[in-house]
Structure 1
Amino acid sequence: MRKIFLASTLLLAAPLTALADDGMSYTYVEGGWNRLQLDAGGAGDVTADGGYVRGSFAVAPQFHVIVGASRVSGSEHAGAARVKTTLDVPYLGVGYHAPISDGLDFTSEFAWNHRSAKSDYRVDDARFRETSRFNEVLGMVGVRNRFTETLEGWLKGGYANGGDGQDARWYGVVGGQVSFTDTWGVVLEGQFDKDVSEYRVGVRASF
């Protein structure tokens, strides 16, 4: 009886093991450089640089939790006037993935972030600050593919709704990772919508 029970348990666990061991880890931490470019129309383009950290943690064979944060800042000068703007974005979400074929996964994410911006103005000896903040809810679907043992890539499409008078937006994400060991790799990623482009270059440790 015990042997039958053990055999049944192993057979039931086998599909879950296959899903978890697909060659692409959903548990990792990474961090690096972040650039945001805003097309401000007649006011010109705005560029801000900074950094980001994020992590993904598998909590079940097909589910993972995503956390992260980024900060970018940029300065503009016009005569005696100077303005420095800083944008902070913490991020929290949950993801789902399922195999489509060998080395190819369907992925989806549902997440929340809080965008907080502050602009410090200086005109001669006068100084003042403006702040703004709002929450966004995001949904995203895509695919993640392992091309070789050391190269993988992903392509995603998403929708973000900010509420509080903010325009909803569609956006796309394209990225990839080059792995040097089973743990360490370099990640390059771009995120694009109508008015904003965001680029990331980071180092990832997968577990």
Structure 2
Amino acid sequence: MRTTLLVTALFALAPLTAVAAPDGPSYTYVEAGWTQVKVNDDLLDDPKLDGGYIRGSYAIGLQAYVFGAWSQVSRSYGVPGGSLKLELDQPELGIGYRLPMSDRVDFTADLAWVRQNAEARLKRDGFDSIRQKDHFNAGRATLGIRTSPTSNTEFWLKGGYLDGSDMDGTWVGVVGGQFKFTPTWGLVGEVQVIEDVTQYSAGVRASF
């Protein structure tokens, strides 16, 4: 009887083992690195703000995962008698779903809350600093593909929509990739385009 139950359990677990194949993309990881936000604005001469980011994801089941990220970029300008500093930070939290299409290819869908905080600080000799802040909250939904062509490479492509109370809705596009030096450590790069804003990221990821 015990042997029959064991065999039955092994057959029941076989599809789940295939879904969680080690050669497929990992949904539990942490990463950090450099990021740059470029705004296409002729009036401001296409400003570029540089900074850093941290990001993580955790699989909460065979097909679900939660994720979060935070980035901060800034740029300083010289002005007559002082300086102007622009700073932008963006936290996000979300939940995602994966549907394996093969051992190395997943279809993904995710929903995220995104907040963007902007601050401008003007310092002038002999005067108090002038600080102005603004922010908005938005929701983002994307669909995409994640694939691991080989054991040490991974690529992803996503497209979706971003909308918030203080902004017009707009389309979002993301493309990225990873090269693994070991099963745990790898280098990642990503480009995200949201209307006139392009964000470039490059960092180190530890997958588990």
TM-score, normalization by structure 1? 0.93
2:49: which partner in 1?
Answer: 48
SS of corresponding position for 1:16: helix
Q: Is this contact kept in 2: 1:36–1:47, CA < 8 A?
A: yes
Which letter maps to 2:100?
P
Q: Equivalent residues in 2 for 1:137-176 (5 A)?
A: 137-163=139-165, 165-176=166-177
**What are the residue-to-residue correspondences of 1:84-103 with 2, within 5 Å?**
84-103=85-104
User: Offset at 1:143?
Assistant: 0.6
Return 5+ residue gaps in structure 2 as ranges.
Answer: none
Q: Which residue of 2 aligns with 1:3?
A: 3
Counterpart residue number, 1:188 = 189
C-alpha separation between the residues in 2 aligned to 1:74 and 1:162?
25
Residue 197 (structure 1) aligns with: 198
Matched, 1:134 2:151: no
Report the alpha carbon displacement of residue 125 of structure 1 after superposing the two structures with TM.
2.8
Contact 1:22–1:103 at 8 Å: present in 2 too? no
Q: CA separation in 2, counterparts of 1:63 and 1:144?
A: 14
CA contact (8 A) 1:17 1:61 kept: no
CA contact (8 A) 2:21 2:103 kept: no
For 2:148 and 2:74, locate their aligned partners in 1 and report how far apart those are by CA, in whole Å: 34
SS in 1 for 2:151: coil
Unaligned ranges ≥5, structure 1? none
Contact in 2 for aligned 1:184/1:206 (Cα 8 Å)? yes
The whole-number CA distance in structure 1 between the counterparts of 2:49 and 2:78 is: 14
Scaled by the length of structure 2, what TM-score is found? 0.93
Aligned counterparts of 1:81 and 1:162: Cα–Cα separation in 2: 35
Aligned residue pairs: how many? 206
Name the % identity. Answer: 44
The separation in 2 between residues aligned to 1:2 and 1:102, in whole angstroms, is: 31
